[in-house]
Amino acid sequence: MKSITFKKSFMLVLFGIMMSFTVMAQEKASPAATATGIINGAAVTIVYSSPAVKGRTIWGGLVPYDKVWRAGANEATIFTTDKALTIQGKTIPAGKYSLYAVPGEKEWKIIFNSQTGQWGIKRDGSTTQDPAKDVAVVTATPGKSAGMSERLTYTISGKGFELNWENLTVPVVFN
């Protein structure tokens, strides 16, 4: 009787250990995150994966200058608005868009692309952005952030949103 109870207890502990390893293996190094808010009366959501600096050089290193970037990690970052928005004279209709960026040392391009649901990069490391599906391409001026941001974050305010990561902030302001 004691050996059966011991075997059951041992099996339960072993099962618990195996399950904890399975759960840990499923955690992403760049966890999913969501920013929500109102921009000029439109309800906006940005869904992205939030990578960490981890001591790496981000701008001009992990994220190269002058190349299209998925504006996050894992799947392409998604920007959703329930009303049309205007930015730099361009209209972004209500809907869902992949958000890409082309970081530069002095200026960034921010790309709203109508194709959604794709992984952020291809096997060769290039992004999945299809320029034929770009709805709007606008510019933003990066600046030094108030402090170090270990993880990539997006924040939405009344006039636009900001991308913050490492020591950089990129404000994207709508009309």
- Give pLDDT tens digits for 128-175: 789 999 999 999 999 999 999 999 999 999 999 999 999 999 999 999
pLDDT for the residue 4: 63
Angle, CA 26 vertex, CA 56 and CA 52 arms, to 5°: 20
pLDDT band for position 127 (cuts 50, 70, 90): confident
pLDDT higher than 80, residue 23: no
- Are 83 and 103 a contacting pair, CB within 8 Å? no
Closest CA relative to residue 160, chosen from 151, 168, 169: 169
The proportion of the chain whose per-residue pLDDT surpasses 70, expressed as a percent, equals 84
Q: Which two tokens stand for residue 119?
A: 């992984």
Domain boundaries, the chain: 29-173
The widest CA-to-CA distance across the chain, in whole angstroms, is 79
For range 52-75, the mean pLDDT: 96
Banded model confidence at residue 117, pLDDT cuts 50, 70, 90: confident
Q: Using pLDDT thresholds of 50, 70 and 90, give the confidence band for residue 60.
A: very high
- Specify whether the CB–CB gap between 17 and 117 falls below 8 A: no
Classify the C-alpha dihedral 115-118-122-125 as positive or negative. Answer: positive
